[in-house]
Amino acid sequence: MAAPSAAQSGTLDLGGDITVNRLGFGAMRITGKGVWGEPADRDEALRVLRRLPELGVNFIDTADSYGPYVSEDLIREALHPYDGIVVATKGGFTRHGPDVWQALGRAEYLRQCVLMSLRRLGVERIDLWQLHRIDERTDRDEQFGVIADMQREGLIRHVGLSEVDVADIEEARRYFEVASVQNMYNLVSRKHEDVLDYCTREGIAFIPWYPLGAGRLTREGTVLEGLAKKLNATAAQVALAWVLERSPVMLPIPGTSRVRHLEENVAAASLALSAEDFEALDRAGRAEWSKRRR
């Protein structure tokens, strides 16, 4: 049986000039518990990373805060000089312990984030650097202004944002072109439907984090569970196939610390949902999202 390939997900042009396969990899889970420190199985984490190009995965999403620094260091160890692989990273969080995150958007800190990521990844320019969060305690002109400066200086090729609304994107676009938006989104988490629709219209890559989420739809007797049986797939694979089908600008980044799980995720790229199946899943997902909001 042929190995799964992310190439079956189709391609996307990041910023109009970097072509990647639409099924990427999120490198948060290759760190320790609480996204803190080294992974429990370092050798397996390196095997996961080295398996990515073999599976056609040529877009990796990471952040300086993952570990902190551990994820970027492992990526460099496993894959540098990244032949044909785009490594996108993020900055703008400080870490003070497991599962503790604090946004910091001061200009000197964001510049430090970029310069240190360049050093850890071993590159002269970051193809896609994303502001991990907008710091509401720091003036936005300061945050967006220094990002624009670093792009002009050639430290950053393309800029993205994370966990933003449409108004945030439009404000940021006064300073730089927004190449990507990374928000939580999956079959049953629909808070950012308007952002996704905006990105689709504007040709901005939408990078959903936690794309495998399906909540109670994984239970016996649901539409998702029934389709998984019909397609001889897992519920997570079908949920990921739905995400890929939702928009041509979708670039999901399921993450894992295990090679076997990675291969299962990539296999979702080969699943073909009929229009009827997609609509049935969409209705079920919207209904579940409505229940959660009550």
Q: Supply angle C-alpha 216, 245, 258, rounded to 5.
A: 65
What is the token pair recorded at 35?
Answer: 């996204």
Pair 200, 246: CB distance under 8 Å: no
Tell me which of 66, 82, 175, 185 is the catalytic residue.
66
Q: 274-279: long-range contacts (C-beta < 8 A, 24 or more apart)?
A: 277/227, 278/242, 278/245
**β-strands 18-21, 11-14: how paired?**
antiparallel
Contacts of 137-146 with C-beta under 8 Å, sequence gap 24+, read 137/103, 137/105, 138/104, 138/105, 138/106, 140/171, 142/105, 142/106, 142/107, 143/92, 143/105, 143/107, 143/110, 144/171, 144/172, 144/174, 144/175, 144/176, 145/107, 145/175, 146/107, 146/110, 146/111
Token pair of 98, please? 């497991």
DSSP calls for 116-185: HHHHHHT-SSEEEEEESS--TTS-HHHHHHHHHHHHHTTSEEEEEEES--HHHHHHHTTTS-EEEEE-B-
Assess whether 66 carries a catalytic annotation. Answer: yes
What is the H or E stretch that residue 246 is in?
A: helix 235-246
Catalytic residue annotation: 66
